[in-house]
Structure 1
Amino acid sequence: MNKSIHLFAITGGPGCGKTTIIEELKKRGYNCVDEVAREIIKEQVQSNGNALPWADKEKFTLLMLEHSIETYTKNKDNALITFFDRGIPDTLAYANLIGLKPPPELTEAVKKYQYNPIVFILPPWEEIYQTDTERKQSFQEAIDTYKAIKNTYNGCGYQLIEVPKLGTKERVNFILSTIENK
């Protein structure tokens, strides 16, 4: 396993605060990569495409993989600590969750494109959970997604660190102090 120690994945089910944490990390000057799934959904809706989680799930999965590899590749050679709003194993977790047999290029990508061994996972948090135009899942689906993600990252050999349910600044401080102390 050739892990890129400066690339950190932040993961969890939908609506648990990942994007808010990424935005706070950006404000603090960190290099961050936005979640590819939301961008794909926006692009597909605007272009009347069907590569959507509620339409062609297989096509959506392959687009997520393609975009995730692209963002990984773009950031792997810089020396900056970089935070990703989800990593490539999230795409594998999604495929497993929807009952899609992972295509060989997905299982190969999970092995080839590795993040820091420490992955930050945010637990489901009903008090902050909201649906929107890109997030249509119920809170129970968010819990199921969290479990699938947790199992997938564990199966890929990552060390999951659960980020406590705190205010955004405190959550970011927790992440940064964890990195400094490892």
Structure 2
Amino acid sequence: MCDNMFVVTGGPGSGKSTLIDALRDRGFASMPEAGRAIIRDQVQIRGTALPWADKVMFAELMLGWELRSWHEASALEKPVLMDRGVPDVVGYLTLSGLRVPAHVEAAAKTYRYNRMVFIAPYWEDIFGQDAERKQDHEEAEATNRVMADTYTRFGYQLVELPTVSVGERVAFVLDHLKAE
């Protein structure tokens, strides 16, 4: 377990990346979200490892990305905010109604983060779709539920982020990190 790695998870469009960007502006290290980067790359190269084309291959690329992020972050001594983590891949496959391969399950059990995981709930006021985020609000809410169930199943303690301004969310996270 790497106690310095703090995952921020939840559904799409819930303010995870905005929060992490604001904390990075305050000097925190962070690891970027896999999904958006993979989608951008796959679209650029006309690849099929996309959530609307080949979900299994998309999950495998996300797993590789999350493992690389885990190793990179584990080399740092200061706190690192992770924009999702390995258990998100399990959650994605579960949400998609796909079998979770043994190696993905093993990765989620092996590559651990701080037990405290921040989860951003669905937030209608800020939710939006774009070229990379095609999910509707029902899928965003379902994603949040699946991620909560998945992280809980792997023994993490969820801390729900309040639906407040970015500055207030930053203060909320800082208070929890100080208590850790």
Task: Provide the TM-score with structure 2 as the length reference.
Answer: 0.98
Partner AA of 2:79 in structure 1: I
Question: Residue in 2 aligned with 1:177?
Answer: 175
Superposed CA deviations along residues 122-181 of structure 1, whole A, max 9, x for unmatched, are 110001000001000000110000000000000000000001011001101101111101
Unmatched segments (≥5 aa) in structure 2: none
Shift of 1:77: 2.3
The residue number in structure 2 matching 1:118 is 116
Report percent identity of matched pairs. Answer: 42
Gaps of 5+ in 1: none
- Which position in structure 2 is the counterpart of 1:104? 102
Deviation at 1:78, TM superposition (A): 1.4
What value does the CA root-mean-square deviation take over the aligned residues? 0.6
Task: Tell me what 2:24 maps to.
Answer: 26
Q: Name the counterpart of 2:155.
A: 157
| Structure 1 moving runs of 4+ over 4 Å | none
Q: Which position in structure 2 is the counterpart of 1:135?
A: 133
Aligned counterparts of 1:88 and 1:175: Cα–Cα separation in 2:
21
Q: Secondary structure at the match of 1:129?
A: coil
Q: Secondary structure of the residue that 2:168 maps to in structure 1?
A: helix
Secondary structure in structure 2 of the residue aligned to 1:146: helix
Deviations 1:31-52 (A, max 9, x none): 0111011000000000000000
